[in-house]
């Protein structure tokens, strides 16, 4: 590709005279750069790409895009290499957002659930829809694993191009606050952006709630319509800079309302009402938060021109989201078991609250907090467990490179109420199941769809479904 075509729209401060005419693409990691590519040097939190131009050159980089002059490669100076990378990705992959109805979902909790329900709803109506998020990327029948909720801009544009080329007319993607702050979706034009809610998470990265909210709000400056949760106290802040039409939903206010709710162990049923039109909705995921997630999905369907009855009919056909209040059958144990992905104080509270009406006995919660992430949420998660569970088995959840016991020590000050500390997660699950009596509910929080445990800097296999099966089979 012609270098200047690749750089279309990128603000440029200076270009050296010896630049190549054609390049084969771009990359931002010196380890994986390929011959003929542009190496985009990014100044990050841990490293500075500008220090790795020699390695990029050895691997065949044709030139660099950088914030300051670099040694050994012709270069183009730009004010912001991350943004340059995102714009170059759009050019290289021929702007798939111009061919797709692109839907972005942001918020602290519920992004994966809402994205899944929305994509599933469209698919059920015969609308070919791609899906990108924490649980993987779905393009046609293929599922590609994801390491992050929203990948780097080059990968985002590449995946959207694959969706467009495979016949998708719509794409639904989760947009994390990290992605917004780090320009992974810079330059994308969203047809619809949705906001689920905001509560404490990721303050290790954002610093303060206001900065976290500001990162999320940025999505609403690059969309043509917004779907928002009217009941969330942060919604006004999120919409402050939003100039597009807004469709709101809620239990207490909004254009789309949920009424006559029936929350059961197997899911939720309610009546969705928009003005004079109302229709029954059912989703096979328990918890009041599922009502909100369903309303978000229905709102995006409405903004896409789908009638409420058609949308509700399609939503009823969508299978449950893997690892989100996922029931595990344990015949013989007499207790209910759920695998869930709650990993914030608010999500943990909501997930545990959802269990109370279906639990004649005790709620036994197994949870831990991720290592190398927001430490401030740890005692708050402890407090949520103490408040809503009858017994907590405190354990580990991806300690990463932190000492698991140090993480547990951070959680304990918030945790009042009966609890056991069992750092080994498999052992913790076994103990919770040992202690469970008929009528109790055991919930394993925080790992959801994950099938590994990151500890000591390694990623080890760990599947909670398998651990439960092993317990049941007596191994």
Ligand X SMILES: Nc1ncnc2c1ncn2[C@@H]1O[C@H](COP(=O)(O)OP(=O)(O)OP(=O)(O)O)[C@@H](O)[C@H]1O
Binding site per annotation, positions = 30, 107-113, 149-150, 176, 184, 373, 397-400, 446, 450
Total binding residues toward Mg ion, as defined by CB under 5 A: 5
Q: Which of residues 143-162 bind ligand UAG (CB under 6 A)?
A: 148-150, 152
Determine whether 458 is exposed, middle or buried from the number of CB atoms within 10 Å of its CB (0-12, 13-18, 19+): exposed
Closest approach, Cβ 387 to ligand UAG, in A, equals: 23
Residue number, 46 or 473, with CB nearest to ligand UAG = 46
Task: Write the DSSP assignment of 291-332 as a string of letters.
Answer: HHHHHHHHHHHHHTT--HHHHHHHHTTSPPPTTSSEE---TT
The first and second tokens of residue 125, run together, are 């109506």
HSE at residue 297, side-chain half, CA atoms within 13 A, is 32
Told to check if 95 binds ligand API by CB under 6 A, we report no
**Residue closest to ligand API (Cβ):** 370
Sign of CA dihedral 378, 382, 387, 392: positive
Told to check if 277 binds ligand UAG by CB under 6 A, we report no
Q: Which of 171, 242, 351, 468 binds ligand X (CB under 6 A)?
A: 351
Q: Which does 28 bind (CB under 5 to 8 A by kind): ligand UAG, ligand API, Mg ion, none?
A: ligand UAG
Told to check if 138 binds Mg ion by CB under 5 A, we report no
Told to check if 120 binds ligand X by CB under 6 A, we report no
* Per-residue mark of binding to ligand API, 118-147 (x: CB under 6 A): ----------------x-------------
Phi, psi (deg, nearest 5) at residue 378: -60, -55
Closest approach, Cβ 346 to ligand UAG, in A, equals: 13
Beta-bridged to residue 195, according to DSSP, are 106, 228
The first and second tokens of residue 272, run together, are 């969705």
Q: Which of residues 392-431 bind ligand API (CB under 6 A)?
A: 397-398
Residues 124 and 215 sit within 8 Å (Cβ to Cβ): no
* Per-residue mark of binding to ligand UAG, 45-74 (x: CB under 6 A): xxx-x--x----------------------
Beta-bridged to residue 257, according to DSSP, are 250, 273
Task: State whether residue 450 is helix, strand or coil.
Answer: coil
Residue number, 197 or 304, with CB nearest to ligand API = 197
* Helical packing angle, 345-355 and 288-303, nearest 10°: 110
Residues 352 and 359 sit within 8 Å (Cβ to Cβ): no
Residue number, 50 or 230, with CB nearest to ligand UAG = 50
Closest approach, Cβ 133 to ligand API, in A, equals: 10
User: DSSP letter at 23?
Assistant: -
Q: Which of residues 442-461 bind ligand API (CB under 6 A)?
A: 446-447, 450
Residues 257 and 251 sit within 8 Å (Cβ to Cβ): yes
* Per-residue mark of binding to ligand UAG, 280-319 (x: CB under 6 A): ----------------------------------------
Told to check if 108 binds Mg ion by CB under 5 A, we report no
The first and second tokens of residue 273, run together, are 């009402």
Instruction: Please give the Cα distance from 309 to 295 (Å, whole number).
Output: 13
Closest approach, Cβ 379 to Mg ion, in A, equals: 24
Q: Which does 152 bind (CB under 5 to 8 A by kind): Mg ion, ligand API, ligand X, none?
A: none
Residue number, 249 or 341, with CB nearest to ligand X = 341
Beta-bridged to residue 310, according to DSSP, are none
Q: Which of 129, 149, 177, 199 binds ligand API (CB under 6 A)?
A: 149
Identify which range of 13-21, 158-166, 181-189, 339-347 contacts ligand X by CB under 6 A: 339-347
Q: Which of 197, 235, 304, 392 binds ligand X (CB under 6 A)?
A: 197
Residues 260 and 280 sit within 8 Å (Cβ to Cβ): no
* Per-residue mark of binding to ligand X, 139-168 (x: CB under 6 A): ----------x-------------------
Q: How far is CA 358 from the centre of its chain?
A: 28
Bridge-based pairing of strands 336-339 and 441-444 is parallel
Residues 385 and 465 sit within 8 Å (Cβ to Cβ): no
Sign of CA dihedral 109, 114, 115, 116: positive
Q: Which parts of this chain interact with ligand API (CB under 6 A)?
A: 134, 149, 343, 370, 373, 397-398, 446-447, 450
Give residues in contact with ligand X (CB under 6 A).
109-113, 134, 149, 174, 196-197, 289, 292-293, 324, 340-342, 346-347, 350-351, 448
């Amino acid at each position: 590709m012609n270098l200047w075509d690749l750089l279309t729209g990128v603000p440029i401060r200076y270009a050296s005279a010896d630049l190549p005419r054609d390049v084969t693409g771009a990359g931002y990691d010196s380890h994986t750069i390929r011959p003929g590519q542009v190496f985009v040097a990014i100044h990050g939190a841990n490293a500075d790409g500008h220090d790795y131009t020699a390695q990029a050159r050895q691997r065949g980089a044709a030139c660099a895009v950088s914030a300051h002059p670099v040694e050994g490669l012709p270069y183009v100076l730009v004010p912001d290499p991350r943004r340059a990378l995102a714009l170059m990705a759009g050019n290289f992959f021929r702007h798939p957002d111009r061919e797709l109805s692109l839907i972005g979902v942001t918020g602290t909790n519920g992004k994966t659930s809402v994205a899944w329900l929305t994509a599933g709803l469209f698919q059920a109506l015969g609308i070919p829809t791609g899906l990108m998020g924490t649980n993987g990327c779905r393009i046609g029948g293929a599922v590609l694993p994801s390491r992050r909720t929203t990948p780097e801009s080059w990968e985002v544009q590449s995946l959207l191009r694959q969706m467009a080329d495979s016949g998708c007319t719509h794409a639904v993607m989760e947009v994390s606050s990290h992605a917004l702050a780090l320009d992974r979706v810079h330059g994308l034009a969203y047809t619809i952006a949705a906001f689920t809610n905001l509560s404490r998470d990721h303050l290790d990265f954002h610093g303060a709630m206001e900065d976290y909210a500001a990162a999320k709000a940025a999505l609403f400056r690059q969309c043509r319509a917004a779907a928002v949760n009217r009941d969330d106290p942060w919604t006004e802040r999120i919409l402050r800079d939003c100039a597009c039409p807004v469709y709101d939903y809620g239990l207490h206010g909004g254009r789309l309302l949920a009424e006559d709710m029936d929350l059961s162990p197997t899911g939720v049923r309610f009546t969705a009402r928009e003005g004079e039109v109302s229709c029954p909705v059912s989703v096979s995921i328990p918890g009041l938060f599922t009502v909100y997630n369903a309303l978000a999905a229905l709102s995006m369907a409405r903004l896409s021109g789908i009638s409420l009855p058609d949308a509700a009919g399609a939503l009823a056909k969508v299978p449950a989201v893997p690892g989100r209040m996922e029931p595990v059958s344990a015949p013989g144990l007499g207790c209910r078991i759920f695998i869930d992905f709650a990993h914030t104080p608010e999500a943990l509270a909501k997930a545990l609250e959802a269990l109370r009406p279906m639990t004649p006995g005790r709620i036994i919660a197994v949870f831990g907090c991720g290592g190398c992430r927001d430490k401030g949420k740890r005692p708050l998660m402890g407090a949520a467990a103490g408040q809503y569970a009858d017994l907590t088995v405190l354990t580990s959840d991806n300690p990463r490179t932190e000492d698991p016991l140090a993480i547990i020590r951070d959680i304990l000050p918030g945790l009042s109420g009966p609890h056991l500390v069992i750092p080994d997660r498999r052992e913790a699950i076994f103990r919770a199941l040992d202690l469970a009596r008929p009528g109790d509910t055991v919930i394993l929080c925080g790992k959801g769809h994950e099938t590994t445990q990151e500890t000591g800097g390694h990623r080890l296999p760990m599947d909670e479904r398998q651990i439960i099966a092993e317990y049941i089979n007596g191994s």
